[in-house]
Amino acid sequence: MKKVLIFGAGRSAYSLIHYLSKVSLGEPIQITTADLKQPDFVIPDNTLFEKVNIQDEDHRNELVQEADLVISMVPVRFHSLVLKSCLQHKKSLITASYASPEIQSFHDEAVEKGITVLMECGLDPGIDHMSAMQVMDKIRGEGGEITHFETFTGGLLAPNHEDNPWEYKFTWNPRNVVLAGSGNSQFIQEGKYKYIPYHRLFRRTEVIHIPGHGYFEGYANRDSLKYKDLYQLDNIKTLYRGTLRRVGFCKAWDTFVQLGATEDSYEMRNVSKMTHRDFINSFLYYNPSDSVELKLAHYMGFEIESIEMYKLRWSGIFSDELVGLDSGTPAQILEHILKKKWTISKKEKDMIVMWHKFDYILNGASKRLLSYLAITGDDSLSTAMAKTVGLPIGIAAKRFLEGNSFGKGVVIPVIKNIYEPILKELKTFGINFIESEKTINA
């Protein structure tokens, strides 16, 4: 009997758990899901639940020791704890999160222990890597030279399920959304290194058209440059990775950035007595006669009846409702306020969109290949986000248990023998890219 241990039972684990519960390897699979609280969904009959505090080293080690494979779906800050237990007991690990410098520092030890640490095997990072490398390897195999690569991904509400002017709700970790882009963004554009400071990030956007799905706006991710070596793009002229939102989102969201409401480096005072309105007003100048709305509109240069102000009103930030926290940083308070209106309901469906653009030269001609993915969730459990994060991990786990080798140490799925079978099986779940190609000049 093969034993799979999954740390983390959040909603993103739904599709992963249900996929693995149906996998047949010629022998039974015992799945154990471990978390501090029971999942919000019903787990399959052949799946066990173990209550565990991930910081409890003894309990964590006890569970890891019994597993044939460990999957980590816990918050990013806990992955290193899981990895340390995996190293101690020589158990391989798969997760969707970025291979941070801390995780990469364990590469040599993982090689020595003979284990695989497969990182970045979810959606973004994950499917973005795999789908991009599949196209790049194809272009290179034909003798082409890639000159430009741009890629954007967005987790959004599905059309006809948008009851708010932002056309957005939280479909992933809300904290990551609030802190998105903090720090400088860096990329290459037409052979020049470019940098966008955080306070300008949501004012430097691109409009992306996805056939059949309309227009979106994209803003730059923090660091596109680290993918230059990963994608083997030594002579690339443009390398840009970004996030997609509906058109108009960024201008309104920039309000929170300019106010300082996404700051996470200090705690505010008197939070227990703070209303939503107090929170916003704390960042504005004092004037006994002007309303908070008028002061904010003036600060941002908005008309008082503008669409941006309408979006902000809809979010509830001018309400006299208490925040409902005893303490918190501005970012934590903003997240708590927005979750009251931005939490996706059971009747709503989410949507994932991903878009790649490749410019390359082949036989002296300049060509452009566009590739895009758009997938809608089935319901509030089998969401597009849960499927695109969980299924790649599940497929990778199945292949590992079948005896397929991914290499030792910290690994990212940009290798053909990893990405090709995963992408092939994802197509059976409707996770499929549509491509179009044209010659730019002959």
User: Each residue of 47-103: pLDDT tens digit?
Assistant: 999 999 999 999 999 999 999 999 999 988 899 999 999 999 999 999 999 999 999
Mean pLDDT, range 342-355, rounded to an integer = 91
Q: If pLDDT is split at 50, 70 and 90, which confidence band does 380 have?
A: confident
- Average pLDDT value for residue range 401-408: 93
**SS3 labels along 81-92:** HHHHHHHHHCCC
The length of the chain in residues reads 442
* Residue 32 falls inside a structural domain: yes
241 occurs within a structural domain: no
Instruction: Please give the average per-residue pLDDT across 198-219, as a whole number.
Output: 94
Per-residue model confidence as pLDDT tens digits over 227-275:
999 999 988 999 999 999 999 999 999 999 999 999 999 999 999 999 9
Instruction: Report the pLDDT value the prediction gives residue 288, as an integer from 0 to 100.
Output: 87
Q: Torsions phi, psi of 354, nearest 5?
A: -140, 140
The least confident of 39-43, 301-305, 327-331, 354-358 is 39-43
258 SS3 class: helix
Does residue 312 carry a pLDDT above 60?
yes
Burial class (CB in 10 A: 0-12, 13-18, 19+), 415: middle
Exposure on the CB side of residue 184, measured as CA atoms within 13 A: 8
Average pLDDT over residues 290-319: 96
| Domain assignment present for 394 | yes
In which band, very low, low, confident or very high, does the pLDDT at 180 lie, cut at 50, 70 and 90? confident
Please check the confidence at residue 368 and state whether its pLDDT lies above 60.
Answer: yes
Specify if 392 maps to a domain: yes
Helix 79-89 / helix 57-66 crossing angle, nearest 10 deg: 50
Dist. CA 101–CA 15, nearest whole Å: 29
CATH code of the domain in which 7 resides: 3.40.50.720
Rounded to whole angstroms, the Cα distance separating 382 from 237 reads: 39
8 Å CB contact between 324 and 336: yes
For residue 38, give its domain range. 2-123+386-427
CA 131/CA 323 separation, integer angstroms: 42
What span, in angstroms and rounded, lies between the C-alpha atoms of 307 and 207? 19
Q: What is the mean pLDDT of the chain?
A: 93
Residue 12 pLDDT greater than 60, yes or no: yes
User: By mean pLDDT, which of 36-40, 78-82, 113-117, 301-305 is the weakest?
Assistant: 36-40
pLDDT given for residue 171 in this prediction: 82
Start-end of H helices in 90-153: 101-104, 107-113, 127-141
Query: How many angstroms separate the CA atoms of 405 and 260, rounded?
Result: 47
Binning pLDDT at 50, 70 and 90, where does residue 162 land?
Answer: low
pLDDT of residue 161: 57
Tell me what the mean pLDDT of segment 122-137 comes to: 95
Are the CB atoms for 299 and 258 separated by under 8 Å?
A: yes
Domain presence at residue 421:
yes
Q: pTM higher than 0.85, yes or no?
A: yes
Residues 391-397, mean pLDDT to the nearest whole number: 96
Band of residue 141 on the pLDDT scale cut at 50, 70, 90: very high
Which pLDDT band holds residue 40 (cuts at 50, 70, 90)?
Answer: confident
The number of distinct structural domains making up the chain is 1
CA distances from 222 to 185, 187, 208, 243 (A): 4, 9, 19, 10
Quote the tokens at residue 328. Answer: 């918190």
Would residue 40 count as lying in a domain? yes
Dihedral, CA of residue 397, residue 401, residue 402 and residue 408, to nearest 10: 80
Q: Give the tokens for residue 74.
A: 């816990």
Structure tokens at 172: 């992933």
On whether residue 114 sits in a domain, the answer given is: yes
- The CA–CA distances, whole Å, from 107 to 73, 83, 408 equal 20, 11, 8
Residue 99 in domain: yes
